[in-house]
Chains A and B, each alone.
Chain A
């Protein structure tokens, strides 16, 4: 099990370009907003949390395919399935690794984004909490759809089509938490709901990922 995790981590770091590209995409999407909406600090503060979350969701969709694609193409996924390890555990390890290499850099980048969009310190703290709780949810739920589309030739756009509606509730609660923080209101309720969604996903998603990989292997 640890072997799977180590192998995935090593593979991810050998393909640095694939790690960096979604991040650059994220940075550029965030840059587009001040250019498109206007650089007024108040406007930016108003739309900031939403922009960061939307950019995070879009960039995670870009890199999401990596989760199972290569292993599916070269057959190592099938070998892992035959290895006797429970498939849901393998899938969980892969998701954990994916979260570490995609979203930890995003968290490191987040102060810069907050500065770009003129967020206050309170808003930034709320943003980090929502990112910490919300991004594992992106990875877990996203992996189900990746598992389903991995066998298809052109799964990229379809993946976005499947996942964006599912991520909308998360976006709503996350941005409303940051907005509440901007007004100095308590935002524990939103955080609790995101946490609840994460717990449900943690309980159910591994089994669903394993099932969807089995469907793809036929």
Chain B
């Protein structure tokens, strides 16, 4: 059933797949981000309570949502690597890690900037903020473990185990709002039947979430390409690739 997937375990095929996918991620990502951000920041209506400062939602919510999804994706990649013994899956996992860490950082930073005018404090020890910070630590752990090993094959496996251990933390992050009753406002868009956010505000937000997701995919693919090339440096197909590039550049 999953047989069609197996050829992509080969680094060469994975590299080609990356090349095919890259433009499909790049163009929509740019379109979504530009349209979503300009619409959200300039044209969406003001919030009746929070005024203009709510507009940071267009950066904050996508980065916060996707910082968690990226971690889950990382854990899935690690699991795939473990079950089917794919080297490329570990490479994909480690390609995602810094991207996810940066997303988490953006979420924390924009959250602080939003918290100052709304709550009167840059930082409060609220459950969601804390969990997001823990998520950042988890990313750091995976990256640190990966860099500690000389042998990158081994490093990928070890970091994969750690990513899977950390994924236990994701549900705690997600349900912390219900578990601890705190300052952070409940989410406004996941209630699909009747969202408590106005439609004119919702559309740019959805566009930006989509754009952020595509952007993460784009950067991950680019990093994955680099990772494959770096690991397979001595393989004939990489050397062919380099030669081709050189002749192209010469012409």
Contact = CB atoms under 8 A, between A and B. Distances in A.
Interface in A165-215: 165-166, 168-169, 200, 208, 211-212, 215
A148 B145 contact: yes
B161 A162 contact: no
B contact face: mostly helix, strand, loop, or mixed: helix
24 contacts: A141-B165, A145-B162, A148-B158, A148-B161, A149-B145, A152-B148, A152-B149, A155-B148, A161-B144, A162-B144, A162-B162, A164-B137, A165-B134, A165-B137, A166-B138, A166-B165, A168-B130, A169-B169, A208-B161, A211-B161, A212-B161, A215-B157, A215-B161, A218-B154
A216 B148 CA distance: 12
Interface in A120-171: 141, 144-145, 148-149, 152, 155, 158, 161-162, 164-166, 168-169
Contacts, number: 57
A contact face: mostly helix, strand, loop, or mixed: helix
Most interface-central of B130, B151, B162, B166 (chain A CB within 10 A): B162
A165 B144 CA distance: 13
B104 to A, nearest CB: 12
Nearest to A154: B148
Interface residues of B, number: 23
Interface in B81-130: 82, 130
A38 B144 CA distance: 37
B197 interface: no
Interface string A72-95: 000000000000000000000000
Given A144-B165, A148-B162, 12 more contacts: A141-B165, A158-B144, A161-B144, A162-B141, A162-B144, A165-B169, A166-B165, A166-B166, A166-B168, A208-B165, A215-B154, A218-B151
Contacts of A148: 145, 158, 161-162
B183 interface: no
A171 to B, nearest CB: 11
B158 A169 contact: no
B203 interface: no
B34 to A, nearest CB: 36
A165 B161 contact: no
Contacts of B141: 161-162, 165
Contact of A144 (B138, B144, B151, B161): B161
B21 to A, nearest CB: 30
Nearest to B166: A166
B59 to A, nearest CB: 25
